Amino acid sequence: MKQSLIKKDISSFKIPPNLENYEKIRKSFSWEKAKSQIEYKNNKLNAAYNAIERNAQNWRKNKIALYWIGAENQKEKYTFSELNQLTSKFANLLGKLSVDQGDRVFFFLTRVPALYFGFLGTLKSGAIAGTMFAAFGPQAVEDRLGNSQAKILVTEPDLFERVAKVANKLPYLKTILVTGDPKETAHLKIHGKQVINLFELLNKQTAKYKTKQMDPKDYAFMLYTSGTTGKPKGVLHAHQAIIHEHMSAKYVLDLREDDVYWCTADPGWVTGIAYEILGSWSNGASTVVHNGRFSPDIWYKIIQDYKVTVWYTAPTAIRMLEAAGDQLVAKYDLSSLRHLASVGEPLNPEPIRWGIKAFGMPFHDNWWQTETGGILIANYPAMDIKPGSMGKPLPGITASVIDDQGKEVGTNIEGNLAIKPGWPSMMKTIWRRPQKYKTYFKGGWYISGDKAFRDKDGYFWFIGRADDVIKTSGERVGPFEVESALVEHPSVIEAGVIGKPDPIRGEIIKAFIKLKEGVKGTDKLKEEIQQFIKRHLAAHAYPREIEFIDRLPKTRSGKIMRRYLKAKELGLPLGDTSTLEEY
């Protein structure tokens, strides 16, 4: 579907963006120069030092670093100085528990303050921090703690039972720290494990701590990602990732010191670490964290009450906000907003246009992966937007589209999205699987596993995961393109598209569609949607089968799980579903 260009006029900006001239900065940029934005000590650095401690020692020390809103609307706030003291206490606590450099410390928490200061305190100590979604069940917890051989786990009373069910299968796990009131956690015990109340131990620690300066390539944190087969794999990132996360937060999210910034991601996945803890705080922005469930009313009230200026959220949330209606938007004063961005899965054109209608500005899509550790391709505040496009590579990033033999292809030709290795936040290894790590690289490129093309203006366009692309009657169809066309239909909120084997056409396109509230899924509507796609996209790209469903299977980060849809449709094994929302 052809989309109109959203033009940007720099003269209309109240504040000039950090990346005012993309081409000029791209030509002069180097990662060596970018290091000057990060504080090194004798050629060593610590990501937590740069995110928090240096701000606690400069003019920002009394500035609010964290505004926290609990599930029951509890409210807390911490200055950079206060947050730094908690990180130092936590680092001292780890020392008391005999945690050494390189030991793994994992967090199985909701978005409570302990997750944030604990993560940073772990990095300060030289240990490796790992995070897990609070929605994980016992098996997912066992897989991650077992594979990582984590020594310490921090969790909360409501999640403790899930840990207790698998603790006897985790010989390397020595200590479990539990949040909450010490009186209410005293009864929690696990045979063979040391169970201690976190705050009881934390309060005994001094707030003085000499942060360990690390080799830039020393491991800092790890995240587990799920694939179509096998157990989740542990992706490790180094302390030098902070360089990339700082610069991308500055250029893509346009963060600056006077911003009140809200990233709605959970630190159980990489966005919550890179752009809710490290890159955002290193730029001096105040961060808002909400530990409650999604609610359009609550979200708009948070933006209004905290005067949020930069908002980074997911396409799923944007579509749900759109479905809640423009009248709800009008109830709140959202005039503080100056920049909107989206992450988690490709952003369809329709939500971008809705952003302009509802908030007076578009959402800006960007592309990256857990393995990349930071944003690599983006739509920037000052750059014209082609709705549906991923945008252009970050300064310092060389991106291309290559064929299966590793040769670069021309414009508007589909191929494998590839990046020249060497950016600071690129993963360092896959934990205990060095051979798996090597499979990501071929012919001097990092192979993303995504299919894309680049247009004549240098914008990149996502087609789908390599194993998602549909081949129907000799034509290749990207599921994202069909999904984007489907959500243009006035009755459709969300759509997931798969290829279904067909003896005549090879594959046919099947669409799973969530309808707007009050719309009835009839055969007549299916036919109407099919004709709509034929007219607006292509005759060969319409879904020959449509199934209306109440909700699409998604990861906790909001990514539609097409492989799950396909596996259920074809009666195949589901693979690892630990990151899947309850479905």
Q: Residue 189 has which token pair?
A: 């015990």
**CA quadruple 397, 314, 415, 459: dihedral positive or negative?**
negative
What pLDDT sits at residue 230? Answer: 64
Q: Residue 39 has which token pair?
A: 């504080």
Structure confidence by residue, pLDDT tens digits, 362-374: 999 999 999 999 9
CATH 3.30.300.30: which residues of the chain? 467-570
- Of the candidates 113, 61, 124, 53, the one whose C-alpha atom is nearest the C-alpha of residue 90 is 124
What pLDDT sits at residue 228? Answer: 52
Indicate the residue type of 176. Answer: I
Global pTM value: 0.88
Task: Tell me if 390 sits within 8 A of 399, measured CB to CB.
Answer: no
| DSSP letter string, 293-340 | ---HHHHHHHHHHHT--EEEE-HHHHHHHHHH-HHHHHTS--TT--EE
Q: Residue 547 has which token pair?
A: 């199934």
Judged against a pLDDT cut of 50, whether residue 583 lies above it is answered with no
Task: Tell me if 309 sits within 8 A of 86, measured CB to CB.
Answer: no
Torsion, Cα 249 253 254 258, to 10 degrees, reads -80
CA distance 199 to 93: 10
Which pairing describes strands 194-197 and 175-178: parallel, antiparallel, or unpaired?
Answer: parallel
Judged against a pLDDT cut of 90, whether residue 337 lies above it is answered with yes
Structure confidence by residue, pLDDT tens digits, 493-551: 999 999 999 888 888 999 999 999 999 999 999 999 999 998 888 778 899 999 999 99
CA distance 46 to 216: 8
Task: Tell me if 99 sits within 8 A of 186, measured CB to CB.
Answer: no
CA distance 83 to 64: 9
Q: What is the CATH number of domain 32-454?
A: 3.40.50.12780
Q: Residue 435 has which token pair?
A: 């051979």
Packing angle of the helix pair 113-125, 80-96 (nearest 10 deg): 60
Structure confidence by residue, pLDDT tens digits, 39-71: 999 999 999 999 999 999 999 999 999 999 999
CA distance 488 to 511: 14
Structure confidence by residue, pLDDT tens digits, 131-145: 998 888 888 899 899
Indicate the residue type of 310. Answer: V
User: In DSSP terms, which residues pair with 495 in a beta bridge?
Assistant: 513
Judged against a pLDDT cut of 90, whether residue 161 lies above it is answered with yes
Which pairing describes strands 470-472 and 64-69: parallel, antiparallel, or unpaired?
Answer: unpaired
Phi, psi of 403 (to 5 degrees): -90, -175
What pLDDT sits at residue 229? Answer: 54
CATH 3.40.50.12780: which residues of the chain? 32-454
Q: What is the DSSP letter of 40?
A: -
Architecture in CATH for domain 467-570 = 2-Layer Sandwich (3.30)
CA distance 85 to 203: 11
Length of the chain: 583
CA distance 481 to 459: 16
